Chains A and B, each alone.
Chain A
Amino acid sequence: MNRLFYIGVAIAAVIVLMAVFAPWIATQDPNVQDLTARFLTPSTEHWFGTDQLGRDIFSRVVYGARISMIVGITVVLICGTIGIFIGSVAGFYGKWTDKFLSGYLFNVFLAFPGLLLAIGLVAFGGSGLRNMIFALCIIGWVGYARVMRGQVLKVREYDFVLAARALGASNSRILSTHIMPNAIQPLIVQASLGMAGAVLAEASLSFLGLGIPPPAPSWGTMIEDARNFFTIYPHTLFFPGLAIALTVLAFNFIGDGLREYLDPKQRAR
C-alpha cells in the first residue's frame, strides 16, 4: 500500500467520526443564528468563525460531514447493490441478456452526463435528501455494473465454476456462492471512488440550490451562501471548501491505493 492510501484512510476516519459524533464534537447548535455575531473571524470561541447569520461555521462543517456521509454511504450501497446484481446477470447469462444490458442499458445511462441527469431529475421531481439520493443512484449504478460484468465474464471461465456445474449446482447457486464472492474485489475501488463522486455531487447539487434545502448545513449550501461575501470574509468559504476537498481527496487516495494494490501491473508502474 502506498503512503497516500494511509493518509486517505486517516482523513476518511476523522470525517466519519466527525459525522457519527457530531453532537459531541460541535461546539454550538449549527442552526442557531446570532445576528449580533455575524462574520466573526476564527477565534477560540468560534474556531472557524461565523457566517452571514452569525452561525458557528465549525459546528456547521461538523454537521455537514453527517449529510455528506449519509448521502455518500447510501448512494454507494444502493448503487453497489444494483450494479452487482445487473452486472452479474449480464456477465453470467451473456447472449441477449448481456446484449440488452451492457450493449443498450449501460450505454443509455452513460449517454447522459451524470450531473445533468441528476439536475434534471431534481429539477422536475423537487429538491430534498430523498430525491437527491434517488437521482444520484439512477446515474451511479452503471459504473459498478460494468466492473462487475467484466469480472463475472472472467471468473465464470474458472475451473471451480466448471466443477460446481459438474456437481449439479444451479445457475443462481453458482452465481451467488461461487462467482460473486470471487468477482467482487475490484468493486471496492469503485466504491471508494464512488464515495468521492457522491460527496462531490451532493455538494454540487446543494451549491446549485437543488440539494438539501436550508438551513441544513450541507457543505455545498455553505459555499453557495458564502459566495456573496467571501471576497471580504474568505473564511466563510475556506472551511467548507477545505472539508469537501479533503473528503474527496481522502476517498480518491483510498481508491487509487486500493487499485494499485489489487492490480500488479499498476503497481509496477
Chain B
Amino acid sequence: MKHKFKSILRQLALTLLVIWTVVSLVTLMIGLVPGSPADAILGETATAEQKAAFNAKHGLDKPLFFFSFSSETGFVWNGPDNQYVDYFKGLLRGDLGTSFRTDRAVSEMIAERYPATIKLALASMLVAIGIALPLGLVAGTNKNGIKDNVASFIALLGISLPTFVIGPVLVYIFAVKLGWFSPTGSLYPEDIILPAVTLGAALSAILTRMIRSSVIEELGEDYVRTARAKGLSERKVVLKHVLKNGLIPVVTILGLQLGVLLAGSIITEKIFGWQGLGLLLLDDGINKRDYRLVQGCVLVISLTYIIANLLTDFIYGRLDPRIRLS
C-alpha cells in the first residue's frame, strides 16, 4: 500500500514537472517570432506609437524571461516582472491571455471549439475500435493464413496512407460520387462520419496489429489450454478468455493515441472544415499570426495529452494485476 502510494506520488510529481516544462516551452516560443509580434500583426506601415500601444496592451513590452543573453548586451538580469511570470500567473487563474486579433479571451475561444474536437477524436476512436477489433481477431486467430495476410496488409496500408490522402479520397467516393454525405462542414450529425473515419484510419491500423499480436500471444497461454480442455468452443475461448486479456495493452495504446488524435485532428479538420480546435489553431491562430491564440491551443492540446497519458497509466495498472503488483 505504502509502495503504491509512493509510486502514485512519484508519477504525479513527474507529471507536474512535465506540465511545467511544457508550459515554459510554449510561453517562451513567442521569442522565436522573427521581428516582433507587433510587426507581424500591425504590418510595416504601423507607427512606433501604435506598436508601443499594442505591446503595452498585450504585455509584450516586458522582457520575455528572467534573464536575456545576446552578443551585443551580454547577460542581462531582467527581474521577476516579465512575460513568462505574467503568463504563468494568468494560467493559474485559467486565463490564457487575450487574442492579438479579436481582443477576445483565448480561453473563451478555445472553450467554444474544444468540444467539437473532443467529439471528433472520440468518434474516430470508436471507428478505429470498430474496424480493428474484428480485423485483429481474424488475423490473430488465423496466424500466417490468407485472412491474416489480408488483414495485416490493410493495417499497414492504414498506417502508410496519410490523413490528407484518405480524407479527399473518401470525400470523392462518398460525397461527390455517391452523394451520401456533404463534403465539408459540421452542421448535421452525419457530418462526423467521414472525418471520424479519416482520423481513425491510422489508429485502426495500429490497433489491428496490436490486437493481432496480443491474441497470438494469449492463445499460447496455459489458461487457453485449460479452457479448451474443459470443452469450451473455440469461439467462446477466443471471445470470452483471449479477447478479455488481449485487450489490456490496447487500452494503453488508446489512451496514448487520444493525444495523437487531438493533434492529428488539425489536418482532418482542415480537410473537412470541421469547426474544432485544430481549425482554430490553423486558420485563426497560425494563418493570422495570432500568437497568443497559438500558444493557448498548443498548450490545451498538450495538457490534454499529458492528462490522458496519466489516466492511461492508472487504468492500465488497475486492469492487469501483474502490473499493479509490480
Could you list which residues of chain A lie within 8 angstroms of chain B, going by C-beta atoms? 4, 103-104, 107-108, 111-117, 119-121, 123-126, 196, 200, 203-204, 207-210, 220, 223-224, 226-227, 230-231, 234, 237, 241, 244-245, 248-249, 252-253, 256, 269
**B283 → A minimal CB distance (Å):** 11
**B87 → A minimal CB distance (Å):** 14
7 contacts between A and B (CB under 8 A): A111-B18, A111-B22, A113-B260, A116-B263, A119-B286, A120-B294, A208-B282
The reply to whether B165 and A126 form a contact with Cβ atoms under 8 Å apart is: no
Could you say which interface size class chain B belongs to? Answer: 35 or more
With contact pairs A108-B18, A112-B22, A113-B301 given, residues A120 and B34 touching in the complex (Cβ less than 8 Å): no
Bound-state Cα–Cα, A214 to B187, Å: 33
Could you list which residues of chain B lie within 8 angstroms of chain A, going by C-beta atoms? 14, 17-19, 21-22, 26, 29-30, 32-34, 143, 156-157, 159-165, 168-169, 171-172, 176, 183, 213, 216-217, 259-260, 262-264, 266-267, 270-271, 281-282, 285-287, 291, 294, 298, 301-302, 305-306, 309
B213 cross-chain contacts in A, Cβ below 8 A: 269
Name 14 extra pairs, CB < 8 A, besides A234-B172, A245-B161. Answer: A107-B18, A108-B21, A112-B22, A113-B264, A113-B302, A116-B266, A124-B32, A124-B33, A204-B164, A204-B267, A220-B164, A245-B165, A249-B160, A269-B216
Bound-state Cα–Cα, A217 to B298, Å: 29
**B35 → A minimal CB distance (Å):** 10
How many Cβ-Cβ contacts under 8 Å join chain A to chain B?
Answer: 128
The reply to whether A120 and B260 form a contact with Cβ atoms under 8 Å apart is: no
**B313 → A minimal CB distance (Å):** 11
Given B14, B33, B165, which contacts A223 in the complex, CB threshold below 8 Å? B165
**A43 → B minimal CB distance (Å):** 22
Interface SS of B by simple majority: helix
B267 cross-chain contacts in A, Cβ below 8 A: 204, 207-208
Bound-state Cα–Cα, A4 to B156, Å: 11
B19 cross-chain contacts in A, Cβ below 8 A: 111
**A257 → B minimal CB distance (Å):** 11
Q: What 8 A-B pairs come out closest when comparing CB atoms?
A: A113-B263, A241-B165, A249-B160, A116-B263, A124-B32, A248-B160, A125-B32, A123-B286
Among B18, B26, B162, B309, chain A packs the most CB atoms within 10 A around the CB of B162
Bound-state Cα–Cα, A135 to B291, Å: 17
B33 cross-chain contacts in A, Cβ below 8 A: 124-125
B164 cross-chain contacts in A, Cβ below 8 A: 203-204, 207, 220, 223-224
Bound-state Cα–Cα, A114 to B262, Å: 11
Bound-state Cα–Cα, A231 to B176, Å: 7
The reply to whether B266 and A111 form a contact with Cβ atoms under 8 Å apart is: no
A203 cross-chain contacts in B, Cβ below 8 A: 162, 164
**B24 → A minimal CB distance (Å):** 10
A124 cross-chain contacts in B, Cβ below 8 A: 29-30, 32-33, 291, 294
The closest CB in chain A to the CB of B310 belongs to A111
The closest CB in chain A to the CB of B171 belongs to A231
